[in-house]
Structure 1
């Protein structure tokens, strides 16, 4: 069963929630904002469990009837708001699951907790319907909105909620988690941690993916040989990229980790901080050839490539331009 101690990182947010419970200063509406995979649902569930725990401590006891119910997602006073349409939460979802039930008092605990995953995909009508409830909620009601981009919510909703932002988790903590909890080898854990860029959920997913290893090997092969490639070979490399079109952001992030390594080695000559340590000979040569400005240009071009692909610019054209920029710099 769960405990706040099991959460990796987010110590400031956890301390805030535990203090709110201990000092009986629980707010009626919270926004938990962070990337997908940062642990929003886990934190919301643990907070709800602690609020309803029969031991009334800052941690769920995991033993009482309330905690057992909550752990199995069968607690009558914890309502997870769902939606049928994959891309939006409609006004009927809010009215049926929240507005029409909020006046019913908790069945067994002191609070009735509504958790809204993907709250940032609520339609404007749905947000307005929710606003009517959180403007004057019953004393026992607690709303937890989980978002990746809280800025898209109505300002009137944002102003009535306590904002809890989940920050990036340090690579060292992610690496430790992967090695100790998942028994991932040291090198692989380091690559996954660096690549996940502070997102534990993403690191866990990568660590368990065989396809990620294939993607990594493809990128490393390209990085080792791109300086010697002629135009026809670059075009061929772009064609191979289409195999990874679905994971193109991961592909580009791996290239970014590579050039951050090159930049780090060029600046410090320290191997310990480099992620791709097994490629140090090639990296050393690239660091020697490239200027600081050239490496920065490559990193900027990777960001631009992501933006262009997101804007549906022609895939082959974007990748050809990127590879040419890398080769030139």
Structure 2
């Protein structure tokens, strides 16, 4: 069974939850804000469990009947609010699952906890319906709003909530977890950590993804050959990349890490912080041929390409412009 000791990082939030629980200063509404994979669901579940735990204290005991029910998702006083339609939480979802039940006292615990995952998906009408409940909540009610973008919530909602923002984790913590807990090889842990950008959930997904390994190998093959490619070979490479169109952001991120390695090696001549250390021969040669300005231009072009693709600019045009910039620099 899970406990706060199982959470990697987020010590500030854990200390806050434990403090308000022990000191009986629990608020009626919280926003847990962080990107996908940051640990919102785990923290919310632990918060709910410690509130209903029969023994009380700063950690769920994981022994009592309530803790076992919470672990199995069957606790009668913990509610997971879901939308009937995918991608949206409508006004009827909020009314039926929160408003119509919140006045009924807890079945067996002191607290009645509602966990709303993807709270940013609530329509304006749904948020206004929830607001009516939040204005005068029952003394036993706790509402946990989990969101990747709290700015999509109405100010009248956020002003009534305690904001708990999940920050990015340090790379050292993520790398340690991948290597010690998941037993990922160091070279793979370095790459997944670099891509995760402080998000442990994403690092775990990447470490378990065979598709990501395939993307990595294909991108490296391209980058090693790219300096000597003819125009015809570049056009052929562009056609090959279409196969990875759905994962193009990850593909471009791999290329970005490569050029950051080139920039780092050019500046320091050291390989300790280079992610693609096993390709140091090619990294060193690229660093020798490219100027600082040229590498920076490629990195900027990669950012522009990602932004244009998100804006649905023509895929082939975006990639052609990127390849030309890479070739020129």
**Partner of residue 266, structure 1:** 266
TM-score, normalising length from structure 1?
0.98
Unpaired runs of 5+ in structure 2?
none
**Partner of residue 305, structure 1:** 305
Q: Deviations over 1:196-219 (max 9, x none)?
A: 111111111111111111100011
In the TM superposition, 1:118-267 aligns within 5 A as 118-267=118-267
Unpaired runs of 5+ in structure 1?
none
CA distance in structure 2 between the partners assigned to 1:204 and 1:192 by the alignment: 8
**Partner of residue 88, structure 2:** 88
CA distance in structure 2 between the partners assigned to 1:260 and 1:229 by the alignment: 21
Return the offset for 1:323: 1.2
CA distance in structure 1 between the partners assigned to 2:285 and 2:23 by the alignment: 59
Return the offset for 1:230: 2.1
CA distance in structure 1 between the partners assigned to 2:290 and 2:90 by the alignment: 52
Q: Deviations over 1:72-95 (max 9, x none)?
A: 000011100011211210000000
Q: Which runs of 4+ in 1 moved over 3 A?
A: none
CA distance in structure 1 between the partners assigned to 2:86 and 2:162 by the alignment: 27
Q: Root-mean-square deviation (CA), in Å?
A: 1.0
**Partner of residue 117, structure 1:** 117
SS in 2 for 1:247: helix
CA distance in structure 1 between the partners assigned to 2:5 and 2:162 by the alignment: 22
Return the offset for 1:41: 0.4
Q: Is 2:285 aligned against 1:285?
A: yes
Q: Deviations over 1:92-118 (max 9, x none)?
A: 000000000000011111111100000
Return the offset for 1:70: 0.1
Q: Deviations over 1:136-157 (max 9, x none)?
A: 1111111111111110111111
CA distance in structure 1 between the partners assigned to 2:301 and 2:136 by the alignment: 49
Return the offset for 1:122: 0.6
CA distance in structure 1 between the partners assigned to 2:321 and 2:159 by the alignment: 44
CA distance in structure 1 between the partners assigned to 2:76 and 2:46 by the alignment: 16
Between the two proteins, the alignment pairs up a number of residues equal to: 329
Return the offset for 1:289: 1.7
CA distance in structure 1 between the partners assigned to 2:289 and 2:15 by the alignment: 48
**Partner of residue 18, structure 1:** 18
SS in 2 for 1:76: coil
CA distance in structure 2 between the partners assigned to 1:245 and 1:257 by the alignment: 19
Say which is worse superposed, 215-224 or 262-271, in terms of deviation. Answer: 262-271
CA distance in structure 2 between the partners assigned to 1:165 and 1:298 by the alignment: 33
CA distance in structure 2 between the partners assigned to 1:35 and 1:238 by the alignment: 31
Say which is worse superposed, 61-70 or 280-289, in terms of deviation. Answer: 280-289
TM-score, normalising length from structure 2?
0.98
Return the offset for 1:316: 0.6
Q: Is 2:37 aligned against 1:37?
A: yes
SS in 2 for 1:281: helix
